[in-house]
Amino acid sequence: MAAPLCVECGARSNPCRCKVVGPTVGFLAFAAAAAVEWPVGAVVYLFRHLKGRRIMAHPATVVYPSVANAIPI
């Protein structure tokens, strides 16, 4: 299975203004976190709706941006 390749152009964190490594690693971290957090969030959602939604949103709102922005390339 080939890893996805994510490209973000218009970035200002490097001279070529394109990022490839950061968004790609961010996506892989997002997928790993989502595989764990979405089922847990679905179970929590049955009892505590807001807490379940926050758990399920965590990969998209915290994991992906922090990993993708940490790598400037």
Give pTM, 2 decimals: 0.82
More confident call, 27 vs 72:
27
The string of pLDDT tens digits covering residues 4-40 is: 777 777 777 777 778 888 888 999 999 999 999 999 9
Q: What radius of gyration, in Å, describes the C-alpha atoms of the chain?
A: 15
Q: Is 22 exposed, middle or buried (0-12, 13-18, 19+ CB in 10 A)?
A: buried
Residue 71: band (very low, low, confident or very high) from pLDDT cuts 50, 70, 90 = confident
